[in-house]
Structure 1
């Protein structure tokens, strides 16, 4: 999904109903450096043959050098049960997540996800999921409170030979129903993703992926345009990782993304490059 602080490239934007308008600096794309700290824990406990309960806790803090208004902290908890029956894995998960921007609450998400994964053979697997979530925003953003209903399918294929490639493709459909009577903020979301991961050498791993997402909003925002908003989001991502030890790894990440819209106010490009150091307690 597009980030919470994507900005347009120019302060001057031409809107269908308002003509040429000038945005405040907070709405315009800027470059910034950031530091990120992430931590988490996972617990899995078998309770019967093929049945396990699990829980997780995760937190993420992102701090920018000169743009404190973009600082974010994000934490969440999740738990559920899984059932393995021969080639089929069924999993149900309850989750809660809260996002703070500029050290103020921005959004809470409470949800449920049901998953089915079937191992076709040693190299192939298919999956399906259903999802429901409640989105609760803070302050002036409360008009964006919504319910999400989602469906998704996926296919995974491993290949024998050098580098051991693993290819995945997935498609999803999500309906976002606004709970405040703002159908101009309600939308249908169609998502597609393809990715490949390889292991080129011992301790090394790499991956690359492409994401395409279309958002069709239900009704026009009468202030901005006489027609409903339609966004198209494109993203390319790549990662490379080196395992220094069994517990310690170094990872590089690159994300190139673009959001096109029939309303210029919502168009932006975003490029993010990062280096991460990870330590796992095993």
Structure 2
């Protein structure tokens, strides 16, 4: 009798703890707690519903379907359970079943904000249904803004040598401010081979013109091609890249390289990645500056239940001159980045990030000081959907480069507004 009397209270405690853990974003702890009681609690609709949510959180999508099916068997009108089981079907790749379940929920007259979320899921399911076909998408973008330092020059009129001798800087060397306009466009294609392998390719380009400082007008063109392999919770990406930068309509720098990434999805809301890059950078107007760039690092990302996302990464990098005698262009460094985004409503997303990079250059001569740079960056902005496939993005970008050599010490502030059309 004591066991029977105490069981309901204990069971409720388990459910209450599971619900609290889910509300706190502790999906793994909720799953471990609830899953251990499945044999004795299966058939309790509220328990099964929480078990299904916890299973989704940790990527146990098949177990989520089983739990939520039990809920719907006893309560077919439970729209929340039906929406969650649709998410599980989508995660399992059963796009048609997921779309049908989402559409069933939408037909019940849900609130407008919920309906918009369902529309996104339905669109995702439809894209997945077409996954065996090649796809093509792209964008065009126009941007207008102000740049306090279009040439990334020192914010001073002269430099002073250790001896005390001061030299004035030419106008094109020191920092130049200007208003600018920029046009850009790009396209990406995907060719799925099967459920685990897809080939990707893309091209993009932009042209930025300054209103007064035309000698610093800059353009770029980039292309990439590669493959993505999905193996359970692991996603492997390998891409070849090529790019060209122009300065005042003349070829300035070309880049050829390869990037790779291994992404592991820990659960539905956490992922870790290891990435690397190898590239040859050729300065077409001064081949003495040609370098080989190597970079490798690790990153982590987390998404909260409300949809907010945070990420962080750390990396090591090296640039080595292709001509060994040009040792002043060699440096070793490291860096880190933190950022995230937050949806404030169905149309507006705030984003931001901070970055730091340390570069230590080799000495060209024994008497050299040895250049050392510490570069800090801040980006703040928002993306607002003004119409279907149209977005407006105001953005503030700050760069502070602190160097032990005055010629390389500068700061830069860029304020811009971009309008983008995706297709």
Match runs of 1:26-37 below 5 Å: 26-37=172-183
Aligned pair partner of 1:21 in 138, 148, 167: 167
Aligned pair partner of 2:361 in 217, 226, 229: 217
1:240 paired residue number? 382
Q: CA RMSD in A?
A: 1.5
- In 2, distance between residues paired with 1:17 and 1:109? 39
Asked if 1:193 is matched to 2:342, the reply is no
Q: Please state whether the residue corresponding to 2:178 is helix, strand or coil.
A: coil
The offset of 1:84, in angstroms, is 0.3
Cα gap change, 1:136 to 1:198, in 2 (>3 Å) = same
Aligned pair partner of 2:279 in 104, 116, 133: 133
1:251 paired residue number? 393
C-alpha contact 1:92 1:113 (8 A) present in aligned 2: yes
C-alpha contact 1:17 1:226 (8 A) present in aligned 2: no
The offset of 1:149, in angstroms, is 1.2
Q: What TM-score comes out, normalization by structure 2 length?
A: 0.63
2:153 paired residue number? 7
Aligned pair partner of 2:215 in 26, 49, 69: 69
Q: Please state whether the residue corresponding to 2:383 is helix, strand or coil.
A: strand
Asked if 1:158 is matched to 2:313, the reply is no
The offset of 1:279, in angstroms, is 0.2
Aligned pair partner of 1:54 in 182, 200, 207: 200
The offset of 1:165, in angstroms, is 1.7
Aligned length: 274
The offset of 1:10, in angstroms, is 1.2
2:310 paired residue number? 167
- In 2, distance between residues paired with 1:75 and 1:121? 37
Aligned pair partner of 2:322 in 179, 188, 193: 179
- In 2, distance between residues paired with 1:108 and 1:18? 39
1:205 paired residue number? 349
Match runs of 1:66-105 below 5 Å: 66-105=212-251
Aligned pair partner of 1:143 in 263, 282, 288: 288
Q: Please state whether the residue corresponding to 1:184 is helix, strand or coil.
A: helix
- In 1, distance between residues paired with 2:196 and 2:162? 58
The offset of 1:259, in angstroms, is 0.5
Structure 2 unaligned regions, length at least 5: 1-148
Q: Please state whether the residue corresponding to 1:202 is helix, strand or coil.
A: coil
C-alpha contact 2:150 2:177 (8 A) present in aligned 1: no
The offset of 1:49, in angstroms, is 2.8
Superimposed CA distance per residue, residues 208-258 of structure 1 (whole angstroms, 9 cap, x where no aligned partner): 110100011022467xx7221000001111111111122111111110111
| Structure (1/2) with the larger helix percentage | 2
- In 1, distance between residues paired with 2:419 and 2:190? 25
Structure 1 unaligned regions, length at least 5: none
| Structure (1/2) with the larger strand percentage | 1
Cα gap change, 1:17 to 1:154, in 2 (>3 Å) = farther
The offset of 1:31, in angstroms, is 1.5
Asked if 1:115 is matched to 2:258, the reply is no
Which protein is bigger by CA-based radius of gyration? Answer: 2
The offset of 1:154, in angstroms, is 0.2
Cα gap change, 1:221 to 1:260, in 2 (>3 Å) = farther
Higher RCO, 1 or 2 (CA under 8 Å, sep at least 6)?
A: 1
